[in-house]
Chains A and B, each alone.
Chain A
Amino acid sequence: MSPLLGEVIPVTSKLGYPLLTFLVFLPAMGAVVAMFVPARRPELTRAVGYVTSVATFGMALFLLTQFDTNPLKPGFQLFEDHSWIGALGVRWTLGVDGISLFMVALSALLFPVALLASANISKPKSFTIWMLLLESAMIGVFLALDAMVFFIFFEFVLVPMYFLIAGWGHDNRRYAAMKFFLFTMAGSAFLFAGILSVAFMRQHSTHVLTFDVRALTDWAAAHIHGGTAKVLFVAFAVGFAVKVPLFPFHTWLPDAHTDAPTAGSVVLAGVMLKIGAYGFLRFAIPFFPQAAVDLAPLLLVLAVVGITYGAIVAAMQPNLKRIIAYSSVAHLGFVVLGVFALTNQGISGGLFTMLSHGLTTGALFLLVGMLYDRRHTYELSEFRGIWKVAPVFGGLFVAATFASIGLPGFSGFVGEFLSLLGAFLTSRWYVVVASTGVILAAVYLLWAVQRAFTGEPDDANRATPDIGAREIVTVLPLLGLSLFLGFYPKPVLDRLQPSVEALIHHVELNSDYKAPTVPPAPVAAPEQGTGK
């Protein structure tokens, strides 16, 4: 048994009830309930949305408490395994490990926030239904341990997202939604081909058809080599690179973000992009460790290009929301840089950045959405001196900006620093280039803040109202959590750690790669020369 999978786990979770299945279906249940609420009672629909998403968040918190932090147990926890489509070998298999845990928690946090931020949206009924379905799919993606179930959720995510963009987006929403849909569908085709190939190759050799991620990982890592492995790795990589998005597959992202409604942008940037990075860690790297090691330089180059390229393009955007969209390209570049450094610190840093980016970029999109509600534009040239007329709003925006550029004290710093530290071990010149991205992030975001928020407000901006109580409630948890994790990242890192170590160990066992190890520091270093 590979170290990635840990001990053999009993079929039902230790809880005695399928917590993960509940997590996946609770939002969908809410959607069903919302279906039966008459459209003339929007407040009821909203209530259903809030209650369901908050209950899901509560369950995610409970999941965090139930997650075993024992560093010797890196495998999947709260495992559930039921046969589903027997003839095809598709099973309903769910499980959570350190890599997926915080993505589930982040999804569960962002949905109630996004719903609350959309309190005044038109057509609340269908909006709520789409959002809840999206949440189910999103959580399902991270929990599914059957490649086919994963793929179904992976695809299903697109549908609600398409309708959210096309139905509630801005001017160019049709084009944006379609571009988003086609782009990711094209990527999915590669992914689907990859999954089927691995499963059928395994069937050909073992005469058992299964899509169980653990079985496929074990078999593929041991039996697929050389050119085949590289081709299949590329197929998976294309599917996930579109989602991340990695340069040059990123062009759908700014359009989708710019024209998506606020809630759509928050979810899109907050969790959807992370499906790509998650896919690398769950499928592409463990399935084909040797190919991943061999092709890592390619992905590192794309990551570093993404970091600098995203920053440079962001600098000239006249549209505030587009700037933040391009900043996501840069941030996700750090994630991929860390992941393909294939070191403990790199992958942990990448995962931490995924979480942190969800919080900070989520907060920025919420704030930009509020600005749009007030001024009905995203054009930077339209804003001036907003800080003076809306001081609390301005202060929060500046705080979110600093969080996003990775100022120490906010979570972004921990993630980016760990990524860079981890990458330095294996690929130091990439780090030098990537660290310029840290500087450029300050250029485009602070320059945007300067143009929109400082100066004397003109007539158009003079009446901009300050942030309201409901709006503060949406932003503060995200910024507060980012601040908390910036000061105290330990709870997250401790839970990531065993799974990350197991993954690296798995790669080492199945390739010629030897991760540069940092020997553990002594638990209590002798203290020199303390006072008497």
Chain B
Amino acid sequence: MFFLDQAWLVPLIPAISFVVILLFGKRMPRQGSEVGVVAVGASFLLSCGAVVRWILRVHDAEGGSALGAFGRSIGRIGADHAEVPVLPVLHHVTWFQNGGVRLTAGIQIDGLAVVMMFVVTLISLLVHVYSLEYMRGDRRFTYFYAALSLFTASMLLLVVADNTLQLLVGWELVGVCSFMLIGHWWEEKPNSDAALKAFLTTRTGDIGLLTGVIMTFFIVQRATGVGSFNIVALNQAVSDPSSKVGHTLILWCAAALMLAIVGKSGQFPLHTWLPDAMAGPTPVSALIHAATMVVAGVYLGARVYPVFFHGFSIGDGGVNPMAAIGGITVIVGALLAFVQDDIKKVLAYSTISQLGYMVMALGVGAWTAAVFHLFTHAFFKADLFLGAGSVSHSGSHHSFDMKTDMGGLKKYMPQTYKTFVIGTLALAGIFPLAGFWSKDEILVNAGHNNYKLFLVIGLVGAFMTAAYMTRCVYLTFHGEYRGGHEPHAIPHVDEAEHDPIDTPASVEHDAEVHPPHESNRLLTGPLWVLSFFAVFAGFLNFPHFSRFEKWFQPRYPAGFAEILHPVAFNPILATVSVLIAGAGIGIASAYYLGKLPQGLSERNAIARAGKRFLVNKYYLDYVYENVIVAGIKGPISTGVYWFNQNVIDNVLNYTGRGAQALGRATYEYVDQKGVDGLVNGIATLTGESGGEVRKIQTGRLQFYALVLVAAVVIFAGVLWIST
């Protein structure tokens, strides 16, 4: 099975592309972008092949014919799939060995891996194509494509990993790529600030990953006697009820890895970096900060799910840290999305909220629902981000401010409008678009697994999602066009405006020259592809048909398979959730069409305070930046340095001064009487340190050198003679 066994090619091809673009990109006719597009295209084809082969493998394991895997109709499938194990394809090579510790690099190709490979390569490919136009004329165009390639390679390395250490490596590398790409226009300080903030915040979570990964090694060691980072072995070790691994160790490991998820997947309270990360170019936001890198945390949760399941006792119902953090993030993110004027920040907070859904799903025992939501969300959120990029590129003169530069764009940009609305409806969970199916699956699982609280949170979140996205669509595409005035400087979001000389595209699109217009096909093409998936991807898990679950849910090791309990579709809940989302859209539309009382926050003190609280992002950034970071940069660091200079160093200085005084005393009282030449030497030395500057002249240096060389020669001579 070429596509499964050779899946290591999928990350390797973009990695080679990175090197080629970095070294030769500038000299190529299209400045290296062609290499990137071709490489990611090849990876995409290989991933498609892997998906197909994996589906065939699942079916083969069940003993059916190859054709049947696609053609078999509803009925007997959902019932009997759990019993047949489908082994992942595993290959590894030794990276290096140290004592008993063997570190490997390898691939673990199973349902989860092929789904992720497909998502990552497809969206990366679309973003590569989109950027051909969007980034045209950028002053670091080649560099941009090199970074995209490296990112794709690192993300795929993470996805195919068969061990937690390799996962850690990929995880760090995507973090660095994200850092480089957020700060792509580092001439403006806000951009490099945002990049630094993103990197440092996610790295705070990496403390957890580093210690958690080390713990996975010892979990496997306790269970089997042989330490290993292998993921299959880890899942086996924690799932086996007779295993010797204590619950405490699993709990600590789960807690450490949870910190990593919180950092990387923008969970409360470390989510604050993600909105700032919107300072990067929009294609980067779509690829890294919506569809792929930020879901690495969710992927980690899904990959080593038994650790969380047993560590946090998810099977017991009630409240556990994972579900709680996810649930809080759903609401926290959605609330903030209401008060944003920047379209990308609305989408960023929406991403935070949706990531909250995924983590919450993992926390309530809904593995399949979490992965399925990850899958569908990637398409419609990338669609929305690229749509926002299209608006700024052709409609709002490179601004992202909905209130000052957008409005009424529906008639100028019909295709962008349509795809954006499709993405919005999918995100809001309107039947029968992709988001409906995946969100509904999370809700029904939460209800079934005795997590009623999180079912309610999910429904409230669905209402808010529908409402803030309606606000966003209204402000951007409906009403009167508010742009067309002199573009004002909002440096950290004004793309391509940085250097008009370098960017002919921006000159061409200048406000006075052109009214808003539709973007060209390089931009709308990817939008339509993503819209297609936003509409249809959900049908993969149509009730009773449940292909997604059948194909991609892990059935090995046995302990892993046992903790996954797919729950039947609940038509009543589905109807309720669609009605709630519809209500969200309806109320928001009514508000913006002027049919509801306006200006609540101007009249009501409580509403005003609430809004201020939201506009200030719960003051979390204030705490992080002005208290913690400023503390470390300022008082703490200064204090420690003061201690360094005045306490530790003074011991030396006083000793030095003492020695100097002693030397002077000796000089005056002992040397003056002409006793000791050695003491004289010490006094000279201390005198020098006291600041009596005497130039060391070349001659004198050479004299010292001569003495030393002579010493060496004598030394060698003595050696020679004595042997």
Same complex for A and B? Answer yes
15 pairs, CB–CB < 8 Å, chain A vs chain B: A31-B705, A35-B709, A83-B722, A133-B708, A163-B701, A182-B659, A344-B101, A407-B172, A456-B187, A490-B97, A493-B96, A522-B226, A528-B232, A530-B89, A531-B2
Q: Tell me the complex Cα distance, A267–B179, Å.
A: 32
Please indicate the chain B residues that have their CB under 8 angstroms from the CB of A316 in the complex: 633-634, 637-638, 641
Please indicate the chain A residues that have their CB under 8 angstroms from the CB of B1 in the complex: 531-532
CB distance from B713 to the nearest CB of A (A): 7
Q: Tell me the complex Cα distance, A414–B709, Å.
A: 41
A222 within 8 Å of B by Cβ?
no
Choose one: B87, B206, B705; the contact of A130 (CB below 8 Å). B705
A375 within 8 Å of B by Cβ?
no
B636 within 8 Å of A by Cβ?
yes
Q: Is the CB of A442 within 8 A of B189?
A: no
Q: Which of B195-203, B285-293, B560-568, B584-592 contacts A (4 or more CB under 8 A)?
A: B195-203
Q: Is the CB of B173 within 8 A of A454?
A: no
- In A18-35, the 8 Å CB interface with B consists of 25, 28, 31-32, 35
- In A114-161, the 8 Å CB interface with B consists of 123, 125-126, 129-130, 133, 136, 159-160
Q: Is the CB of A129 within 8 A of B709?
A: yes
Q: Is the CB of A387 within 8 A of B97?
A: no
B656 within 8 Å of A by Cβ?
yes
Q: Is the CB of A167 within 8 A of B636?
A: no
Choose one: A175, A309, A408; the contact of B169 (CB below 8 Å). A408
Q: Tell me the complex Cα distance, A178–B685, Å.
A: 8
A344 with B644, Cβ < 8 A, contacts A126-B705, A388-B187 known: no
B78 within 8 Å of A by Cβ?
no
Please indicate the chain A residues that have their CB under 8 angstroms from the CB of B723 in the complex: 82-83, 92
A17 within 8 Å of B by Cβ?
no
Q: Which of B294-302, B605-613, B688-696 contacts A (4 or more CB under 8 A)?
A: B688-696
A521 within 8 Å of B by Cβ?
yes
The size of the chain A interface, using a CB distance under 8 A, is 93
Q: Tell me the complex Cα distance, A292–B447, Å.
A: 58
Choose one: A28, A82, A432, A519; the contact of B719 (CB below 8 Å). A82
Q: Is the CB of B640 within 8 A of A313?
A: yes
Q: Is the CB of A521 within 8 A of B689?
A: no
Chain A interface, >50% SS class = helix
Please indicate the chain B residues that have their CB under 8 angstroms from the CB of A315 in the complex: 632-633, 637
Q: A130-B701, A407-B172, A439-B203 are in contact. List 8 more A-B contacts (CB 8 A).
A: A28-B712, A159-B708, A179-B689, A344-B99, A438-B206, A450-B196, A454-B186, A529-B556
* Shortest Cβ-Cβ A-B pairs, 3 listed: A529-B87, A518-B100, A531-B1
Please indicate the chain B residues that have their CB under 8 angstroms from the CB of A251 in the complex: 644, 648-649, 652
A455 within 8 Å of B by Cβ?
yes
Q: Is the CB of B90 within 8 A of A84?
A: no
Which residue, of B214, B648, B659, B685, has the highest number of chain A Cβ atoms within 10 A? Answer: B214
Q: Tell me the complex Cα distance, A92–B189, Å.
A: 60
Q: How large is the interface on B (under 10, 10 to 19, 20 to 34, 35 or more residues)?
A: 35 or more
Could you tell me which A residues sit within 8 Å of B by CB distance?
A: 25, 28, 31-32, 35, 39, 82-86, 92, 123, 125-126, 129-130, 133, 136, 159-160, 163, 166-167, 174-175, 178-179, 182-183, 248, 251-252, 309, 312-313, 315-317, 344-345, 348, 385, 387-388, 402, 407-409, 413-414, 417-418, 420-421, 424-425, 431-432, 435-436, 438-439, 442-443, 446-447, 450, 453-456, 488-490, 493-494, 497, 500-501, 517-522, 525, 527-532
Choose one: A31, A82, A435; the contact of B210 (CB below 8 Å). A435
B195 nearest in chain A by CB position: A450
B357 within 8 Å of A by Cβ?
no
Choose one: A312, A345, A388; the contact of B101 (CB below 8 Å). A345
Please indicate the chain B residues that have their CB under 8 angstroms from the CB of A312 in the complex: 632, 636-637, 640
Please indicate the chain B residues that have their CB under 8 angstroms from the CB of A418 in the complex: 98
Q: Is the CB of B187 within 8 A of A454?
A: yes
Q: Is the CB of B705 within 8 A of A133?
A: yes
